[in-house]
Amino acid sequence: MGRRKKMVERVTALMSDPVMIRNIGIVAHIDHGKTTLSDNLLAGAGMISKELAGRQLFMDSDAEEQERGITIDSANVSMVHEYEDKEYLINLIDTPGHVDFGGDVTRAMRAVDGAVVVIDAVEGTMPQTETVLRQALKEHVRPVLFINKVDRLINELQVDDQEMQIRLGKLIDHVNKLIKGMNEERYNAGWKVNAAEGTVAFGSALYNWAISVPMMKKTGVSFSDVFNYCREEDMKALAEKCPLHEAVNDMVIRFLPSPIDAQKGRVGAIWHGDRESGIGKQMSVADATGDVAFMVTDITMDPHAGEVSTGRLFSGSLSRGMEVYVSGASKTNRIQQVGVFMGPERLEVDAIPAGNIAAVTGLRDAFVGATVTTLEGMEPFESIKHASEPVVTVA
């Protein structure tokens, strides 16, 4: 069987088993390495070639996408990762790093259940780190931390082994102070990040390596070893021993929730209908046999398929030909195509069950933030608001 066909089979099999899915975003201040990290994760999972990964294609280049002549939605990619002998599907939603795109970050946060917060080890947290972290917590999206550019600490700032660990420890403390200040309830519920437990990874997206405490135990590579590899400019060897995608994806699978685990807590934060109603209960457990409850978080134009509405399916299953209500529209819309992501490609499938990120065509009345449902009169999802947006009151 060809490589692509095999991948299609793996993705479609995992799609139907929400326990094996992680919907995540990577959030960062601009230039802290979000694109480099995303590309490397994809290459590491075998979803794009390693040669392409270094050229930062998939998360931000339109021209290359067109040249390749396939449907690439740069905002959404998926990858299959094996953890403790089981395969998982990780859906990664792109989030803009620039402060002007705060609204887009919010949209992306609505679709995911977990976030990898990327921080430059030298610069530390920056204003946009705070904004995206606040947004994640508000949307009930759990964070883990990736401290990037550790190579710069060693090779540019010339810190020694001990100083490196002290600096990293201070960064982690600072992130926890932010989490505590922004949402004490979540902090107390165990959402702080903790290196010893494994919710923090350190590394270099540029040089393709990363380490966490669980990864140290797995590989036998210590902090001093990391330091020595960087000092001796042998990061290639380090990347072989501690590949970036393994450290980060292991952390994502182990610590970020599946849709089944996440939706229990998330539904109350993003939907104000009756939790005890049929649809309320169906969304809490991501019931694929229930009514459709789909929230549109992004709309893109596809030269062949037209408008594509991407979003998160909280309950029910989406399929071709289905008639659905779109919030605010008087008539039902007919779904033309439904698709999921495979690597950077959109893959058309017959049906998509709850818990997934879905791409749908035919929703002519859809807008970003729209609720799409088979249940007439369903209370729509809370409208998407950016955390730092001023509240406008109308007299």
**What is the binding site for ligand GDP (CB under 6 A)?**
28, 30-36, 97, 148-149, 151-152, 204-206
Nearer to ligand GDP, 99 or 351 (CB): 99
Nearer to ligand GDP, 208 or 374 (CB): 208
Binding positions for GTP: 28-35, 94-98, 148-151
Nearer to ligand GDP, 234 or 323 (CB): 234
| Helix/strand/coil (H/E/C) assignment for every residue in 224-288 | HHHHHHHHCCCHHHHHHHCEHHHHHHHHHHHHCCCHHHHHHHHHHHHECCCCCCHHHHHHHCCCC
Nearer to ligand GDP, 82 or 240 (CB): 240
The CA–CA distances, whole Å, from 150 to 118, 155, 315 equal 12, 9, 41
Cα–Cα distance, 265 to 285 (Å, whole number): 10
The CA–CA distances, whole Å, from 359 to 79, 83, 122, 219, 299 equal 16, 27, 38, 39, 9
Q: What are the beta bridge partners of residue 347? A: 340
207 and 141 Cβ atoms separated by less than 8 Å: no
- Least Å distance between CB 178 and ligand GDP? 18
- Least Å distance between CB 140 and ligand GDP? 24
- Least Å distance between CB 149 and ligand GDP? 4
- Least Å distance between CB 221 and ligand GDP? 17
Cα dihedral 277→295→372→268 (10° resolution): 10
Nearer to ligand GDP, 30 or 157 (CB): 30
Nearer to ligand GDP, 146 or 325 (CB): 146
Cα first-last separation, the chain: 65
- Least Å distance between CB 165 and ligand GDP? 18
Binding positions: 28-35, 94-98, 148-151
Residues 6 or more apart whose Cβ sits within 8 Å of residue 291: 278, 279, 282, 315, 316, 373, 374, 375, 378
- Least Å distance between CB 197 and ligand GDP? 23
Cα–Cα distance, 95 to 392 (Å, whole number): 25
